[in-house]
Amino acid sequence: NAGVTQTPKFQVLKTGQSMTLQCAQDMNHEYMSWYRQDPGMGLRLIHYSVGAGITDQGEVPNGYNVSRSTTEDFPLRLLSAAPSQTSVYFCASSSLDRGRRGYTFGSGTRLTVV
């Protein structure tokens, strides 16, 4: 029962580098999303997807790209890392009927940009 798996757990990037944060779920959930959480703050929605081939922007999409080629995977790409993107990133998934059990979250990726 893997649920939502995020890799890597930790990452240090230099300013200007690019990287992809991976997210995979094995619950056949249609909905997937990415949040960032800054120290002492709540979660802010970056991008979300309601199914393969469909993505949309959240509250703070600038500097990030996503794609959804399969139901299982929803990678988040940082195009040119900036210190302001230092944060903990959480991936979440749910069935389209979120009235059942809400979101299932991954354990997070802690990213530091120096």
Partner 1 sequence: LAKTTQPISMDSYEGQEVNITCSHNNIATNDYITWYQQFPSQGPRFIIQGYKTKVTNEVASLFIPADRKSSTLSLPRVSLSDTAVYYCLVGDMHNAGNMLTFGGGTRLMVKP
- Where do contacts with partner 1 occur on this chain (CB under 8 A)? 4, 30-31, 35, 41-45, 48, 50, 56, 58-59, 90, 92, 94, 96-99, 101-108
Nearer to partner 1, 17 or 105 (CB): 105
3-state class (DSSP) for residue 35? strand
Checking 63-68 for CB contacts under 8 A at 24+ apart, the result is 64/34, 66/34, 68/32
Closest separation in Å from C-beta 114 to partner 1: 21
Measured CA to CA in angstroms, residue 112 lies from 84, 88, 105, 107, 109 at distances of 9, 9, 21, 16, 10
Nearer to partner 1, 15 or 41 (CB): 41
Closest separation in Å from C-beta 93 to partner 1: 10
Closest separation in Å from C-beta 80 to partner 1: 25
Nearer to partner 1, 3 or 17 (CB): 3
Nearer to partner 1, 13 or 29 (CB): 29
Q: Which of 71, 76, 75 is nearest to 26 (CA)?
A: 71
Check: CB of residue 110 under 8 Å from CB of residue 11. yes
